[in-house]
Every structure is written in structure tokens, then in C-alpha cells.
Amino acid sequence: MSTSPPPPRRHHELAQALADPQPTALAAWLDIHQLSQEDVAWLRGQGLALFAFDRLQQAGLLDKAPASLVGPWQDAFQQAVLATASMDWEIEAVLLALSQAGVDFIWLKGAALAYTLYDNPACRLRGDLDLWIQPEQAPLAAAALASLGFQPANKEDRPNALALLVGGEQQMTRAGSTLALIELQWPALRGEWARHTAAIDHQAIWQRRGRLAIGQHSFAVMTPEDTLLHLCLHQAINHQFSAPWLRNLLDIHLLAAAETLDWPQVAATARRWRLATVVWTVLELAQRLLGTAPPPAAMQLLRPPRWQRWLIDRLRLADGLLTMQPGGYGHRRFLLQLALVDRARDAVKLLARGLFPEASWLRARYSLAPEARVARWRVLHLWRLATAARA
């Protein structure tokens, strides 16, 4: 057996083998490498341990892994299957309660992806249920969830006035439940970066949604094309290419491989909404790390200029994903956000609004009275930015 490569390269090769639809790639990796406890710990940290176990099991390759690893791993997988079945029952009860209460929603991200992209829903870790609703229906949705025992949990740094102004979420929690958190969101593709640099048509997403059948019921979901754009924005901007690292990228890889995507529509919409650089960056990372194969024509339409590709390359995003680099409100976060804009003037706007927000934003963010002067709050805001940011 050959000498093992350093962990980042070793894990890169493991990630590619797991993402390859042909089991021969994973078998070839196991012929070269002895699966170790460190490998399993890395998979667990990446949120890929359950997916990896299922791939090994389906391919008949568990005998290539040490028995000391397989036993506990199998126990963890079986526990996850049972927990998923319980969570699925609770999710269906929640979605039905909302539908019967007249709440219109789109089912987002993890829980929906688990049913559409993964052979076994237990392979896709998910700790919450994300639902896009219209803000005027938030009280109705909260009341329906309260009837099931869920209680609101507001974020201290996200006042309701700010959420209504720029978009936000209402978290609902319930103790002693496999479904511990529900996030009611409006809109789905939101945040200060999207507000100042992009031109997302939320109404178009809402109107062209599809349906996902679960048992005898079906629920609204985004189209595959809109889902791809959402996942790319979420990975790049909301998560800053940090936790859960490759698990998010695997969602995108599986979506690109499993669905018959309208790639010209993806590219055209991304350019129209000024998300082309974000989508290109995420897909390029998926190509490099997992072997995703978006059409070259689409990548050409999405590709940013050479100087911008050079800047993005300097951020070493692939290394950060493989080594599970944490995110946070540091200087790197701001550099990343500036590097991913489609237009230079939007980067200037993002920086200016980040330092000097609109008066309406300051009033909503700091819960100021309508007649309050905002000058001192501008200074406070700059101070908070300076003290929150880290290198």
C-alpha cells in the first residue's frame, strides 16, 4: 500500500470518489487508502458521514473498511434512519397544519433536498425546517405552529421592524422534538449583499414553483433552476463557504447531476439577477472538488473577468472547504462579498451602505423612534463594525 498523501489532498480524493456516481471510483480509493478514524471524523465534520456510509453499503464496499470503524458507523446510521423517520412524520404534520390554516409557503433547502436528491433521506443531515412565506402571513403561520407546541424565538440583533424592511425570519422552536427549529423566511434569497448588489425577482420564483409529493400529499418547492441559484447564493454569501462546507456543495453537485436542468435559463437568470459571479464561483468549486460537470457554455456565460477570477483564487476557497475553515464577521467576509459582485459599482454601493446605512435601516435596526436623530447612531454603527470585524 502506498504512502498516504497529506490530509487535504487525501480528503479531496475521498470527496471526489464519494461524489462519483460510479462505485468503482470509491472502490479504487479504498484500494489505495486504508480508511481511518481521522477520515471518518473528517466526514462527520463535513456532514457527509451518513452519505458516505450509505455509499459504501450500497456499493458493497463495507468489507474494505476496518471492522472497528464499521460497527459504530453502522449504529450511527441506523439511529439516523430512525430519527429521520420521526422527523419526517413531524414535518408532514407541520406542513399540513400550515396548509390547512391557509398559509402559502415554499419548502426550502435541506428537508426538501433530502427527498429529491438523496437515495435515502437520512443521508442528508438537517436540523431545521425552512419555509418561505409571505410576511403578511407570519402571524397566521405562527398561530398554526403554536397549536403544535412551537414558540417564537426572536433574534436580539434582528428586530421585527428590520425584518419587515429588508426581509428576515421568524424562528419557532419546540423542546423535546426531533424537529427542534422551524424558520419562517421572507424572501428566500435575502440579506444585505443581495439587497444592494443583486436584482432578484422574488415574485417570479414564487409564481413558477413546482410541487414535491410526500406520501399522499404534495407541497410547493422551488424549480430546480431556482433551487440551484438559491443554493449557490446561500453557500457563497450566507455561509461564506464555511460550515457545513462540502455538504452544501454536495447538494449542488447532486442537483446538477440528477435533474435535467435548463442550463441556458440558469445562466441567463443569474446574469439578469447579477448573481453570475456567485454561481460561477460555486460551480467552479464543485467542478474542482467533487467533479460536477456543468455545461461549458453555461460556465462561459457566467464567468467573471480575469482580474476577478484572480482575486477569487487568492481567497483559497477550495482549501477552506476541505479544511473546514470557520466563517464569521471578519475582514475576509467583507473581502469575499466584494469579490463576488457582478458589477464594480455594486461593490462600491455595498461598501458605502455597509458603512453608512440608510436612515430607515438605522431606525429599524436600533429600534429608534421616527423623530429620533440618527447621527449618533451612525457613529455607533461604525464602532460596532470596527469592533466586530476580525482579521
- For the stretch 234-284, pLDDT in tens is 999 999 999 999 999 999 999 999 878 999 999 999 999 999 999 999 999
Whether 363 shows a pLDDT value over 90: the answer reads: no
Residue 155: predicted pLDDT: 61
- Greater confidence (316 vs 126) lies with 316
Residue 128: predicted pLDDT: 87
Structural domain boundaries in the chain: 1-65, 356-388
**For 57-77, what is the mean pLDDT?**
96
Dump pLDDT digits (tens) for 315-345. 999 999 999 999 876 778 889 999 999 999 9
H, E, C per residue of the chain: CCCCCCHHHHHHHHHHHHHCCCHHHHHHHHHHCCCCHHHHHHHHHCCCHHHHHHHHHHCCCHHHCCHHHHHHHHHHHHHHHHHHHHHHHHHHHHHHHHHHCCCCEEEEHHHHHHHHCCCCHHHCCCCCEEEEECHHHHHHHHHHHHCCCCEEECCCCCCHHHHHHHCEEEEEECCCCCCCEEEEEECCCCCHHHHHHCCCCHHHHHHCCEEEEECCEEEEECCHHHHHHHHHHHHHHHCCCCCCCHHHHHHHHHHHHHCCCCHHHHHHHHHHCCCHHHHHHHHHHHHHHHCCCCCHHHHHHHCCCHHHHHHHHHCCHHHHHHCCCCCCCCHHHHHHHHHCCCCHHHHHHHHHHHHCCCHHHHHHHCCCCCCCCCHHHHHHHHHHHHHHCCC
Whether 95 shows a pLDDT value over 80: the answer reads: yes
Whether 156 shows a pLDDT value over 70: the answer reads: no
> Taking the model in full, what pTM does it have?
0.92
Whether 222 shows a pLDDT value over 90: the answer reads: yes
Residue 1: predicted pLDDT: 40
Tell me which of 101-115, 128-142, 369-383 is least confident: 369-383
Residue 332: predicted pLDDT: 83
**Mean pLDDT for the chain?**
91
